[in-house]
Amino acid sequence: MVFIPDESDFDVEYRSVPMPLDPKMLRMARRIYRSYRMLHPRSQKQPLGIAIHKETHRGQLMFNRQPVLLPGECFVPLNQLEAEAQVV
């Protein structure tokens, strides 16, 4: 018998743990975020993260609390981008 957990079985703390990403993906996501900040310096609207395609590295800022990802995309949360930017 195989147990398939329901989404409600997962604790919120597990969702807040950042998933390891390819360094190239993080670089591309950081570049997209930096471009947004340069083009919109006075914007008070803070994105929650970036949806980025794993193969094409095309990305889009996500402002919705529950981002909808297309096949082949992964989500890079803003806190992970900022953490990476502080390390570099």
Tell me, what's the pLDDT at 5? 52
Q: Provide mean pLDDT across the span 69-87.
A: 79
Start-to-end C-alpha separation, the chain: 47
Under DSSP, the state recorded for 50 is E
Q: What is the pLDDT of residues 9-55, one digit of tens each?
A: 444 444 454 566 788 888 999 999 999 999 999 988 889 999 999 99
Tell me, what's the pLDDT at 7? 52
- pLDDT of 76 > 70? The answer is yes
- The domain segmentation of the chain, as residue ranges, is 21-87
